[in-house]
Structure 1
Amino acid sequence: MGNTLALFHSLADDYARYRPGLPDEAAVFLASLLDRLPAPTLLDLGAGTGQVAAALLPYVVRADLVDPDTGMLDQAQRLLSELPGGATVAVHPVRAEAFTAPHPGYQTDLITCSRAFHWMDRPTVLAMADRVAAPHAAVAIMGDGSLWTHPAEWTAALKGLIQSDLGEDRRAGTTGAYREPGRRYEDDLAASAFSCITEHRFPFARDWAPRGVLGYLRSTSFARPDLFADHTRFEEQAQALLQQHAQDGVLHEAGVFTVLLARRPGTSR
């Protein structure tokens, strides 16, 4: 995750505007984990522009957002300040691996990481989580892939256009290509203190406008503007391609948002 700060430094506006939030059903599920706790707290790792915290803010008294990108956290603070409720929101501009308890006796009830776990040193992050999690706490590792991996005719055509400019490999980081994690997230969790794992799947349907897809691409590691020799030309070509595939101006995405929920053995609520 060492190059994440440089990677997302100038993308916070597009990220905040165009990245999809949590499906409603997934948010309801996560909120249910906090039921009947006297003063529930959330620790969100790789918090980005605050989408997870926004969904869960009505259910917590404190939310700690961890992300190395100060631009992302600035966006998160603006978003959360506009939401009702009296929860305390604290931001921590550090890598998840480097997070430490913000005050003596700190314990969190729910640790979330959405669409960001692959950027992290996962064993180190889970060891940190063990130090700051309450005995009953749950860790939720979440995600739904990306438009690069989504199997639809329009996404395949868009991926082909990107590859025609940038090469076959999926780009990632400030240099080089994306590499799949060496092992499954389930294996990372099984090797940690949070080895009691359940999987929860939430189907979703999203509608995209072509302009929204272009904004989304600008926020990604595989199609951000600085990768292209002529980004304006790429966006013109992508706009035309997306309009050809759109039905009444709409592009459809159907997928599954997956939550890997992990607890320490012998604990439940």
Structure 2
Amino acid sequence: MVDWQDLHHFAVLARAGSLSAAARDLGVDHATIGWRVASLEDALALRLIERLPRRVALTPEGIAIAALAAEIAGTVQAIERRARGYAASPVATVRISAPPALAARLIAPQVAGFHRAQPGITLVLSGAARIAALDRGEAEIAVRLSRPDDPDLLIRRVGVMRFGLYATPDQAATPPEEWTFIGYDSVLEHVPQQAWLRTVLAGRPIVFQASDLFGQKEAARAGLGSVVLPRFLGDGDPTLVHLPVEPKPPSRDVWLVTYPDLKRSPVIRAAMDFLARVIGQGCPVGAQVE
């Protein structure tokens, strides 16, 4: 009989494309991936991969088996999610993935109140720029700034993140043609607020780039230049002032995402209601007064 763990390791290898990537995903070493796949090949009496010097390539049979293995993995994950959704225990852990600024400034400060109201639920908050893979069990709930296109997900729009341009009062007092700017590094050139910033430079320089908003904000607080920040991050900082600029910076919808079978759990519903409330307060859907 085929060992499910052998099949699972092979499915991850097929998706990841290399032994090293599969080993990282599964938290094991290369040798474990290798012998698991070899065990599966023996059980099926098929060669599934071509072992090349620096990578592996699926054989035609391997491609076919990998597709079936991915379907099985999806079914197993659905079973696990359904079981968690049916769980009636009042003690539970809910893993939440959210963009770093939302996690640190809107969600984390309100967790104490949630804990008082729901002492049996432990929230595990991951403030990560990358999108968590809900289908691989990396989180039960995700907060995202782009609408997912997976039809299997339960999606709820809970807020609108509005942006503004900010600088120190000294920087703001300089003529606009002398302004300098702070932005994202090249990896995040595609995000709407960075694309907007590029349109208003008019030959003025970006003098500092950082991959996260907190680094950008600290550089602006030091007087280095003007920075695009979410309104909830910039408006409350007494060292920065909001700069008038046209066209106005963009806004981004904030989405709450989970799987429908998890939503059946009272624990997941409580966490989602909490997230919707605190994000809605910090990023209200209605128009914000300037």
Structure number with the higher helix fraction is 2
Q: TM-score range by the shorter chain?
A: under 0.3
TM-score, reference length from structure 1: 0.28
Q: Give the TM-score normalised by the residue count of structure 2.
A: 0.26
